[in-house]
Amino acid sequence: MTDRNFIGLDYHMGSIQVSVMDRRGRELANRRCANDWHAVVETAQRHGPVARAAIESCVGAANLAEQLVSCAGWSVDLAHPGYVARMKQTPDKSDCTDAQVLADLTRVGYLPKVWLAPQPIRQLRAAVRYRQQLVDDQRRIKLRIRAILREQRIKNTSGVNPWRLGWLHWLAHQAPLDEPGRWIVGRHLQRLAQLKDELKITEQRLTGMTMADAVVERLRRQPGIGPVTAWVLRAEIGRFDRFASGKQLSRFCGLSPRNASSGQRTADAGLIKAGNPMLRNVLIEAAHRLARGHDRWRGLAARLRAGGKPAPVVAAAVANRYVRWLYHQMQGMDQTAA
């Protein structure tokens, strides 16, 4: 039987560095080719059939990996770039050594893998992240308006809470702003109105994209989860059954406490510095809702507060426990969903 080789791919927009390594660890080739799956296949298969390939997870890598899987029939893994960098045995960096390390880690079965999400999930992820960009733009504009009001020492005399229609009318027509300030605030208010319309269109698009998604439907039936939270969980987690336990899922979401022990000293250092910030934020917000309106989680929050835990720690702890519980509720849903 012909031995199959292992391939490491160092991805760039203009080109791809291809390292070909045999089963015994001998590098057969390490050369650059065009950023095209045909060129990658041609370069690698000059030296024999391919057993498995690896490429670091980055912008564009998932698309190339999917092409190699669907068009060339390869087995391709996405590698975690941070962990791969720690495994290198040299401080030097070059495309040749990066591709070689990926090929070698694949050969010995020690590649730190990242899930290759299917195309529908990646498309949903792009739309969800676009929505979050719109929300972030709204927040920044509101902060700029607040800064102008503070700079000119203008207090709210409208009798209406900020950002309601009455307050916005007062801000646009009655607030005692100077002429440049009024012009700038007017431009900001126009941009806010545009963002509001764009956000509405985006959410309608997301509703259509997930209308037939059984996982999103199941998520919507869980306590504390509305449409936005369901969209984010589906886009960023994808499949719940790819995790071995609820604890592993919670760690992926960035909700696990980070251990900072040394010798006889044992301490926590807050939440782990990992996970998608948007995913963690929506789960923390869900925890706040659950702590106010759901008996099970309201009781947990009350016990933690009675033990002297501050509010941020309580919210993080509730979110951590809730994600572990949610993991078990979602089992069996992903096998039949994309």
User: Span 299-322, mean pLDDT?
Assistant: 93
Q: What pLDDT band is residue 1 in, cutting at 50, 70 and 90?
A: very low
Query: Cβ distance 317 to 256 under 8 Å?
Result: no
Rounded CA separation 139/150 (Å): 17
User: Max Cα separation, the chain?
Assistant: 84
Residue 270 CA to chain centroid, in angstroms?
Answer: 20
Work out the average pLDDT over 42-63.
Answer: 94
Residues in the chain: 338
HEC sequence for 85-111: HHHCCCCCCCHHHHHHHHHHHHHHCCC
Confidence of residue 56 (pLDDT cuts 50, 70, 90): very high
Decide if pLDDT at 147 tops 80.
yes
Compute the distance between CA of residue 276 and CA of residue 124 in angstroms, rounded to an integer: 15
Residue predicted with more confidence, 331 or 107 = 107
- What confidence tier does 158 reach under pLDDT thresholds 50, 70, 90? confident
Nearest residue to 23 via CA among 43, 3, 46: 3
Domains of the chain, residue spans: 5-114, 120-209, 214-336
* Model confidence at 159: pLDDT above 80: yes
Residues 234-288 pLDDT 10s: 999 999 999 999 999 999 999 988 776 667 676 666 787 778 899 999 999 999 9
CATH of domain 5-114: 3.30.420.40
Cα-to-chain-centroid distance, residue 297: 25
- In 3-state terms, what secondary structure has residue 15? strand
What's the N-to-C CA distance of the chain in angstroms?
36
- Identify the sign of the CA torsion 290, 295, 297, 302: positive
Q: How far apart, in whole angstroms, are the C-alpha atoms of residue 144 and residue 150?
A: 10
Arithmetic mean of pLDDT over the chain: 92
pLDDT of 203 strictly over 90: yes
Q: pLDDT grade, residue 306 (50/70/90)? A: very high
pTM of the complete model: 0.88
Residue with tokens 């391919």: 50
Q: What is the average pLDDT across 298-321?
A: 93
What pLDDT does residue 79 have?
95
For residue 89, the model assigns a pLDDT of 76
78 confidence band (pLDDT: 50, 70, 90): very high
